[in-house]
Amino acid sequence: MLEDFIRRTKIAYFSMEIALQPAIHTYAGGLGILAGDTMRSCSDLELPVVFVTLLSQDGYLKQVIDAEGRQTEEPDPWTPARWAQPLGAKVAVEIGGREVWVRPWLYIHHGGPDYAVPVILLDTDLDENDDADRAVTRVLYGGDQGHRLRQEIVLGIGGVRLLRALGFEIGTFHMNEGHAALLALELLRTRRRPRNGNGGAPSYDAEWVRERCVFTTHTPVEAGHDRFPYDLVERVLTGFLDTADLAAFAGTDGLNMTRLGLALSGYVNGVAKRHAEISRRMYPGFRIHAITNGVHVETWTCPSMAALFQRCVPNWQHEPELLVRADQLDDGELWAAHQAAKAALIAAVREWSGCSLSIDAPVLGFARRMTGYKRPDLLFTDPDRLRRLAGRHPFQVLVAGKAHPDDDDGKRLIEAIHRHAAALADIVPVVFLPDYDMAMAKLLTAGCDVWLNTPLPPLEASGTSGMKAALNGVLNLSVLDGWWIEACIDGTTGWAIGDADLGTADDDAEELYAALEQRVLPLYHGDRTRWAWMMKQSISKIASCFNSQRMMRRYASEAYLR
């Protein structure tokens, strides 16, 4: 089968993380979930793509929360031999003056009976390497800045070399965020022109590289763009490219991986219209397109809703645009499908936490990375007001998400949520679910009644959890940022918090409370017919558009077939 992949594949998609399936812990969050949905849609659409990522056999982290809400981290291993096949080829990359050998594993995604997509997982845990180098691909996003650079060398440079060694002839390289941008330098080195007769510096055919590279930037958060000081680069990436030559593409103040990707790609995009606008302001002089993210509908639709869709909108999995007809669904059948998903979530919450929720009271869900700009504590700005609100309109809250091991502020937010949960326990059930992962996300985005998202604008690049919720008829209550600016029809597909201009935390908290008090909770408790109408509008107007099939058709036609 590898020979068939090699023969037909013309596009390589590089990502530091990818969510292949829940049992394979090669993802940390939204970036990896998106890469996994991209893989699944490539299979559905029979696109000739190979995916390249790190093996990450010890996963990202297993989150452990104590009684006070303090997060600690443990390894989260998986068993590569159960899911993937080691291949015979090996390549070496020079890191810190040493040869580091890289072996590929082959994972095959079978999306249907007729087409499969290969994923190459890169592994340095080999006898040929010393202990430090064996650990490079062990933990996703582990270690210090030097370790991160080593991981990105293996991904970008090692990944390109392994594709060549295996026999792939790639015409287009897609970099999913800046982690993979060193692949462009590897391509650039193959297009080096010799020094002229006067001893001048070599030149490079950068345009040849740009014709072959696509770069997707994912974050308007400055800390999300990897930067490495050149003294570190010179020690770790020894002799690969002169610093002066590198600085011409990656910036003079250090190796900026985003700038490198921008400079050496012929097609660049942000992941939502607003995000592309912000990125153009961050990086003036570059043409940055907008391809808004989407989700894989078959993966993220719960069983009860999928059965309803199949009865009423046949072939919805392969043509998600047909879900525009969801506004014709029967109210009673739609509500029954949702209640089945909610019952499954309530059963899982009881198993995970010992807490019993009511199927009759609405569940507000908030699940994403725990970090400051996501503002997971915005709902708890005024606990007394929450108490008064719950006295009139009962509701329940589920919260989940991991903080990065080095994000102390994010960890403090988890502790604060636990304190709020304890203080409100007599009137508002608030449950924090540890170790948020893909399997938990599928239950949460289907079983909640309201999906809450409160980022600080304009720091949300896109967001996809709300798309998954909408697909299952769960209504979004969200700050207008990222994808929601494009999807929100206030009072129809969900509700907006604030407006598209930048607001303060106090403004957004007031808007959130006003929406809950005046529109969201009274509607749930008092007008089930209107609520079901909004569920149908959400599915028909959002799921039919914000899906990864639409996203990949745009990449194929606009980025890959330039």
Q: What is the pLDDT of residues 466-519, one digit of tens each?
A: 999 999 999 999 999 999 999 999 999 999 998 766 556 668 999 999 999 999
pLDDT at residue 562 in the model: 78
Sequential DSSP letters for 196-237: -TT-PPPEE-HHHHHTTEEEE-----GGGS-EE-HHHHHHHS
- Of 279, 93, 255, 92, nearest to 179 (Cα)? 255
pLDDT at residue 464 in the model: 97
pLDDT at 374 over 70: yes
Amino acid at 16: M
Q: How confident is the model at residue 201 (pLDDT cuts 50, 70, 90)?
A: low
pLDDT at residue 502 in the model: 58
Token pair of 409 as six digits: 């502020």
CB-based burial, 43-57: b 16+ in 10 Å, e otherwise: bbbebbbbbbbbbbb
Over range 424-428, report the average pLDDT. Answer: 97
Beta-carbon contacts of residue 304 (< 8 Å; ≥ 6 apart) = 336, 337, 338, 340, 341
How far CA 149 is from CA of 18, 187, 218, 462, in Å, comes to 19, 18, 19, 26
pLDDT at residue 503 in the model: 53
What's the DSSP call for residue 493?
T
Token pair of 195 as six digits: 């020094």
Q: pLDDT by residue (tens digit) across 286-302?
A: 999 999 999 999 999 99
pLDDT at residue 221 in the model: 76
Distance CA 212, CA 560 (A): 9
pLDDT at 406 over 60: yes
pLDDT at 198 over 60: no
Distance CA 145, CA 227 (A): 9
Q: How confident is the model at residue 194 (pLDDT cuts 50, 70, 90)?
A: low
Q: pLDDT by residue (tens digit) across 47-77?
A: 999 999 999 999 999 999 999 999 999 999 9
Between residues 504 and 353, the one the model is more confident about: 353
Q: How confident is the model at residue 193 (pLDDT cuts 50, 70, 90)?
A: confident
pLDDT at residue 499 in the model: 77
Over range 191-213, report the average pLDDT. Answer: 77
Q: pLDDT by residue (tens digit) across 113-150?
A: 789 999 999 999 999 999 999 999 999 999 999 999 99
Token pair of 422 as six digits: 């304890």
pLDDT at 334 over 60: yes
Token pair of 376 as six digits: 């997971």
pLDDT at 200 over 60: no
pLDDT at residue 505 in the model: 62
Over range 14-36, report the average pLDDT. Answer: 97
Q: CA 493: distance to chain centroid?
A: 23
pLDDT at 320 over 80: yes
The β-bridge partners of 397 are: 364, 430
Distance CA 49, CA 1 (A): 14
Distance CA 460, CA 462 (A): 6
pLDDT at residue 195 in the model: 60
pLDDT at 238 over 90: no
pLDDT at residue 511 in the model: 95
Distance CA 377, CA 441 (A): 20
pLDDT at 431 over 60: yes
Distance CA 444, CA 465 (A): 10
Provide the 3-class DSSP secondary structure of residue 84: coil
Mean pLDDT of the chain: 95
Distance CA 469, CA 474 (A): 5
Sequential DSSP letters for 39-80: HHHHHHHT--EEEEEE--TT-S-EEEE-TT--EEEE-----H
Over range 26-44, report the average pLDDT. Answer: 97
pLDDT at residue 165 in the model: 97
Q: What's phi and psi for 555, nearest 5 deg?
A: -60, -45
Please give the angle made by the CA atoms of 122, 183 and 561, to the nearest 5 degrees: 105
The radius of gyration computed from the CA coordinates of the chain, to the nearest angstrom, equals 24
Over range 408-423, report the average pLDDT. Answer: 98
What's the DSSP call for residue 477?
E
Whole-model pTM: value is 0.96
Over range 521-527, report the average pLDDT. Answer: 98
pLDDT at residue 114 in the model: 81
pLDDT at residue 504 in the model: 60
Q: pLDDT by residue (tens digit) across 536-545?
A: 999 999 999 9
Q: How confident is the model at residue 191 (pLDDT cuts 50, 70, 90)?
A: confident
pLDDT at residue 451 in the model: 98
pLDDT at residue 222 in the model: 72
Beta-carbon contacts of residue 17 (< 8 Å; ≥ 6 apart) = 26, 27, 28, 29, 31, 32, 35, 53, 54, 56, 60, 140, 141
